[in-house]
Amino acid sequence: MGRAKGLPFLFYFVLILLVALQYDNFHTGTSSQALDSVIYFKSTLKDVMQHYGIGDPGSFALGGLTLFHNKWFDANTVWLINLWPPGFMFLEACILKIFGEHAPIIIILQVLASLCLATTLGFFNSLLTFFTRKPIALLIPLMLLIPEQSRLYLVTPDSVLRGETFAISFALAGLFCLYLAYANNNKKTAIMAGIFFGLSAWFRSQFEMFFMVATLNVLLTGIIYLSYKKINNQPASFILSKNIFKTLTPFSTILIAIVMFHATTLPYRIYGYTRTHNLLWVQTSNLMMLNNFVTSEVMDKNGASFLRAGGANTPCVIAPKECAEVSKQIAQGLPPFELRNKVIHILLQHPEAYISMKLKLLPEFWFSSPDTGFMTTKNLSDFIFIICFLWSIIWILTSLRSPLALISYWLSSSIVLAYGLIFIFAHYETRYFIFFKIYFLVMAILGIIQLISQSAFPSLSIYFKKGEKNDSSYGRG
């Protein structure tokens, strides 16, 4: 890395680490449970496991310790990789291999997470230099850390111990590399984008779902864009160039990234198939399908009231008779994958009640934070995230004349479709929404920057570049 490119990375790394170190204690779900015993410079992975129990950080810690001692998971711990991908557990085990079992795991992970996030912001900075002058491009990526929820999920020890920081950073790095690959006509950067997408799935399973939806959405996106160009009598050479191996188009850039995403995830998917005889990344989705047909009373009795509060058993609530019948079928051996059809059937039979129940729960989780659990906290930043989402959609749909809009449309529509699946099949958790919020914050920033750089606001455009580098194709005008 050259000195000029390395300075923004170093700036971001130092700043992120300084912000992170302000959170010397952290919370486990409510503000009354501040953790004093597990702090940066003392805590071992065993301390983390004992404190969190079967929660995500505690389970990851158990997985890391298991890999450190036993090389792989045995019959007593294989449930860990049924519920979570092993990427973060591998990382924790590697840290123990290097620094020993009594290593101060939190500060080490915090440094690594800061390096990861700083790399992501460095890619964002590189992208912004196509639009803005270097001092502005250096500062704009820090906007991702201004909202309180962004900091809670990107830099706090709690988020680091859940693997969220790494997964979100990898996904955003893939996004920025995707744009940079096309802007610089660089196939290696497109390959990097796909690898980053894959790494995000290795750390948190919801990102595998995001990019599986994105895979299926490639064809739909191509059809929509071809139709748009045909209606407007515009050439469609941006889909595939005459010499795809020399000149990247937005569509071929996406294809390269998707292929590399699947190449990155294929080894573990093959291993999973040999063990479970299905191609699911993890088995959590089967559990979510089963949760749809568990009564609220049973959930409360089993200590899973958070699932009920998140709408996990919506079909059971709105259609108790159908739920009881499906429960009997489950007891008789109905395969979990067939439950999807049962959920869809109830949705189609009771669409108004189903959608109404899910919508009523939505504000409670959108306007909440890790410190308040399910308590609604109408944070200003949560309203700003809504504005960012709406502005992003407007910007993308009104910029369809741009070849680069294909990338924005493809990934944004994929994210919306993926969250639609969560809306239908899964329960809500506050953390599920944070990537949606940060992603559309990025989209909103890019839309505003592009609008200003095109001299829509002359008084501001003096701070932004003019000429061939700020057109709708970035550096490819």
Domain-by-domain residue ranges, the chain? 3-23+37-43+104-281+375-470, 284-366
- Read off the DSSP letter of residue 31: T
Cα-flanking dihedrals φ and ψ of residue 22, to 5°?
-70, -20
Q: What is the pLDDT of residue 251?
A: 85
244 — pLDDT class (breaks 50, 70, 90): low
State the amino acid at position 387 in one-letter form: I
CA distance 327 to 56: 28
In the predicted model, what is the mean pLDDT of residues 161-177? 96
- pLDDT per residue over 5-36, tens digit each? 688 999 999 999 999 888 765 443 333 344 44
Q: How many CB atoms lie within 10 A of CB 446?
A: 23
In the predicted model, what is the mean pLDDT of residues 350-354? 95
Angle at 343 between CA 339 and CA 345, to 5 degrees: 110
Q: Which residues are CB-neighbours of 409 under 8 A, at least 6 positions away?
A: 221, 224, 225, 396, 397, 400
Q: What is the pLDDT of residue 377?
A: 46
CA distance 206 to 216: 16
Question: Three-class SS of residue 108?
Answer: helix
CA distance 381 to 437: 10
Instruction: Tell which residue, 259, 242, 160, 218, has the closest CA to residue 410.
Output: 218
- pLDDT per residue over 41-76, tens digit each? 788 999 999 888 888 999 999 999 999 999 899 989
Helices 434-453 + 380-397 axis angle, to 10:
60
CA distance 298 to 365: 23
CA distance 121 to 141: 6
Q: What is the pLDDT of residue 389?
A: 96
If you count them, how many residues does the chain have? 477
CA distance 88 to 203: 5
Indicate yes or no: pTM above 0.75: yes
Cα-flanking dihedrals φ and ψ of residue 187, to 5°?
-70, -30
Q: Are 170 and 176 in contact (CB under 8 A)?
A: no
